[in-house]
C-alpha cells in the first residue's frame, strides 16, 4: 500500500476509535501520524495526563496499547487487515514524563501465510528508547 493511502487508512481507523470511545482511544488521543505504508507506521505524541500512571510517568499499559495499535496499523498497510494478536512482548527501558514528545516507529518484519511478526520502538526526541515491542499476529483465514 502506498504511503499516502496507508496514512489515510490509519487516520480513518483512529478517528473511528476516538468516535466510539474504544479502549485504545485515551492512549491514541493526540497521536500525530507521520507516515504509514508498505508495512510500516510512524507516529508521535506528547505525553499528557491521560497517559500517566499514579507515579506521574507514562503508564506501561498505555505504552503496550500504543505498541499494539501502531504495529497493527503497520500490518494493515501491508496485508489490508489487522490480524489477531498471538503474542505481545514489551520491554520498558526508560520513563517518560508529561510534555515529552514520544515517537513510535513500527515495522512489519515478516508476514507469512498465517503469522506476521512486527517490531516497535518508542523513543524520545534525542533518541532515548522508552519501550520496545515485539508483536506476533495471526493473519491466516
Task: Report the chain's mean pLDDT, rounded to a whole number.
Answer: 93
What per-residue confidence (pLDDT) applies to 3?
72
* Sheet with 101-111, side-by-side order of all strands: 32-37, 40-46, 101-111, 115-124, 129-138, 84-92
What per-residue confidence (pLDDT) applies to 77?
93
What per-residue confidence (pLDDT) applies to 6?
84
Lookup: cell for 92: 520498558
Query: Burial of 89 by CB count in 10 Å (0-12 exposed, 13-18 middle, 19+ buried)?
Result: exposed
Residues of the chain with pLDDT under 50: none
Amino acid at each position: 500500500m502506498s504511503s499516502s493511502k496507508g496514512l489515510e487508512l490509519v487516520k480513518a481507523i483512529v478517528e473511528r476509535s476516538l468516535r466510539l470511545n474504544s479502549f485504545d482511544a485515551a492512549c491514541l488521543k493526540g497521536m500525530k501520524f507521520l507516515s504509514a505504508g508498505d508495512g510500516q507506521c510512524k507516529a508521535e505524541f506528547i505525553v499528557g495526563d491521560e497517559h500517566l500512571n499514579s507515579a506521574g510517568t507514562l503508564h506501561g499499559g498505555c505504552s503496550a496499547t500504543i505498541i499494539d495499535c501502531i504495529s497493527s496499523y503497520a500490518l494493515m498497510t501491508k496485508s489490508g487487515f489487522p490480524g489477531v494478536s498471538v503474542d505481545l512482548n514489551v520491554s520498558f527501558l526508560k520513563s517518560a514524563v508529561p510534555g515529552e514528545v514520544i515517537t513510535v516507529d513500527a515495522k512489519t518484519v515478516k508476514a507469512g501465510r498465517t503469522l506476521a511478526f512486527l517490531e516497535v520502538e518508542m523513543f524520545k526526541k534525542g533518541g532515548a528508547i522508552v519501550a520496545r515491542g515485539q508483536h506476533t499476529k495471526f493473519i491466516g483465514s
